[in-house]
Amino acid sequence: MPMDSIRFSLFPDGWPQGLASAWNEGMTRIVGGGLLSLCLLLAGCSQETGPIEKVDKLKKSAVSEGVVEAVPSAASNVSNKAIVGEGDSKETVSQWSAVIKSQWKEIATALLNDDEEATLPDSLQLPVQMFDSETLQSKELHRGRSVRVTEVRIPETGKTVQARPQAFVADLRERLSIVEVDAQNSVHLKLFSINRDGETLKTRQRLTAQGLIGKKPAHSSAVVDAIWQLPSSAAESAVPRLIEWSMPLLMRNELSSDEKVSFDDITGSVLGGNASWNEQLQIGMNTWRRQIERSLNPDFLGYHGLAVGDVNGDGLEDLYVCQPGGLPNLLFRQEQDGTLVDISADARVDWLDNTTGSLLVDLDNDGDADLALATRTAFLVMENDGKGKFSLVERLTNLGMGYSPSAADYDLDGDLDLLVLRYAADGKVGDFPTPHPFHSARNGGANVLLQNQGGLSFLDVTDETGLGVENYRFSFAASWEDYDNDGDVDLYIANDFGPNQLFRSEGEYFVDESSESGSQDWGFGMSATWADYDRDGFMDLYVSSMFSGAGNQVVAQSDFNANMPEETRTRYLKMVRGNTLLKNSGQGQFEDLTSPMAEGFGGWAWGAKFADFNNDGWEDLYVANGYISQPDTDDL
């Protein structure tokens, strides 16, 4: 069957109309979602990532089931009920999830195999129901200097046809631009919804692929719906049979020139000349956790930030690295050749306290970068002598344990003030409180705003400035920006286990506009970054959160907390949806334009940053994601 004659069936409720505004030229894709987030709401979490055995004929091609996707948001006009059938239960997920994943792996492997006839198991050999039409509805969303973004939609009408699996595999190869054999070709499928409807299973997956168009890379992403006939036999070898396949929307990102963003890992060549690199940073946490005394309160979950700034006035940016308790913090001076030299001891900044965050900023307006540190027992302020030597001038022990410090001149008096986010309430002794309630925790640590009094002296003005409002969240990251263009800086705080907060500045006082502005974004907030991505003169917001395949599969089931109010279930689903793109309307309101196809797809996203990586004038997006990995593949 010719490619253009095959059309797939529909999402019942359609997809977002505002996708075009969510895509920019060159769009790609630190502290994280909390210890308890690891279990992610559910007792039924299973391994979500990991490469699949690669196709023999394409040794470097990747097939995996480790790419993740978000539950469609309210903005996407896709109803969760559209994929929920009768008899949904957690048992459905646990019984059939692994089997369905194995079937998708077979299809992904067949897509990358260069045989003309796809080799598929018996369970995938029977004809599959599809929709047929004359042409696909293609629309170019964006064409830039180096990239073209195309949306392919499915029409609302069309007759059904039967097609052999080999036919739709061949069609998909062409549709995903993986017809040509290439070492960089890859296909990833991620299962994020499974529901039983009588004797069938309805599943939803995210598919991403890399192929070639005219020898240039092409990246595709799509949401795939499928219906499977349950086996009549209870034998272990019996598996569901694919009877219907639908791809309601496909997004294709084609490089239109030879120019592309490329990065090389130079970490070893830049840091390799230092003993601290070879004897500390290169050694994994599994080694250090067995060697460092528990009394030093080491934390090996990655809650350690870094800071960049020029500490010695030579015009080159230097690097400060925070470390777990028992390992010294590190200051690296940048040399003219770009290498970094460890000057931690000479600079008197090699603290052994467990340190979560740091700042290299000029706090006394003398032209050099001072150092502020959030440690387990105190918040430290150190003065720079201008030559890269530091002296402790302020030790604030009454704050408890801080996590993420940030600096801004909120009162417009000419010097930088400090905001210290505290995350956990009882960090003084290293205890991690259980977030309660889980979806809207109110037992986190109270954040502290420190007003700069001059002379590197600071005063707690949290309550006087209005930031004491609902000051009990598990706050991870803060980002300052003048979102309403009135000349002062406003504040956005990303909170774990609940709603985020937007505080609009009225000079020396802040007003909580979280709910009224539409920027609250309920979830596992881990970072926030501002940029005018659509160049309309108003700063837009991207918030990092977390996606969970297990969460999406189980939370939607009727027997998951059966007595849970529907509003609470909706919030739980939002919490596992993924990242959020919020467009600033310029009228004090934000619109959620998140597409699960693109910017919402960020995995377990610890942090994100807008930046123009290819110097074309458009803000691109980089997302840091993942979690602690262990050698045992059975581990989460």
How do strand 62-64 and strand 186-197 relate by DSSP bridges? Answer: parallel
First to last CA, the chain: 42
DSSP structural state of residue 33: S
Contact assessment for residue 583 and residue 21, using Cβ atoms and an 8 Å cutoff: yes
Q: Does the predicted model carry a pTM greater than 0.85?
A: no
Centroid of chain to Cα 24: 18
Q: In 3D, which of 369, 330, 320 has the Cα closest to residue 351?
A: 330
Q: In 3D, which of 70, 27, 31, 28 has the Cα closest to residue 494?
A: 31
Amino acid letter for position 36: L
Burial of 387 (0-12, 13-18, 19+ CB in 10 A): exposed
Q: What is the pLDDT of residues 312-356, one digit of tens each?
A: 999 999 999 999 999 999 999 999 999 999 999 999 999 999 999
Domains in the chain, CATH or no CATH each: 3-16+59-255 (3.10.450), 456-636 (no CATH)
pLDDT of 100 over the 70 cut: yes
More confident residue, 159 or 51: 159
Amino acid letter for position 337: D
Contact assessment for residue 284 and residue 242, using Cβ atoms and an 8 Å cutoff: no
- Number of other CB atoms surrounding residue 169 within 10 Å: 19
Which pLDDT band holds residue 256 (cuts at 50, 70, 90)? low
Question: Which of 76-85, 249-258, 362-371 shows the lowest per-residue confidence on average (mean pLDDT)?
Answer: 76-85
Buried b / exposed e along 265-296 (16+ C-beta atoms within 10 A): eeeeebbeebebbeebeeeebeebeeebeeee
Q: What is the pLDDT of residues 31-76, one digit of tens each?
A: 333 333 333 333 333 333 333 333 333 333 344 433 322 223 323 3
**Coil vs helix vs strand at 292:** coil
Dihedral angle sign, alpha carbons of residues 101, 103, 107, 109: positive
Q: What is the pLDDT of residues 223-254, one digit of tens each?
A: 888 899 998 876 656 788 888 888 877 888 88
Helix ranges, 176-320 (H): 267-271, 275-276, 285-288
Which pLDDT band holds residue 23 (cuts at 50, 70, 90)? very low
The beta strands (E) that lie in 198-329 are given as 200-213, 216-229, 241-255, 306-309, 318-321
Q: What is the pLDDT of residues 375-433, one digit of tens each?
A: 988 999 999 999 999 999 999 998 888 889 999 999 999 999 999 999 987 654 345 67
d(CA 572, CA 595): 18
What's the chain's average pLDDT?
A: 79
Q: In 3D, which of 626, 623, 621, 622 has the Cα closest to residue 604?
A: 626
Most confident of 63-72, 189-198, 470-479: 470-479
Three-class HEC string of 319-363: EEECCCCCCCCEEEEECCCCCEEECHHHHCCCCCCCEEEEEEECC
Crossing angle, helix 165-175 and helix 90-112, to 10 degrees? Answer: 70
d(CA 190, CA 66): 6
Q: In 3D, which of 428, 425, 546 has the Cα closest to residue 494?
A: 546
CA 289, 435, 554 angle in degrees (round to 5)?
95
Percent of the chain at pLDDT > 90 equals 42
Q: In 3D, which of 168, 176, 170, 186 has the Cα closest to residue 226?
A: 168
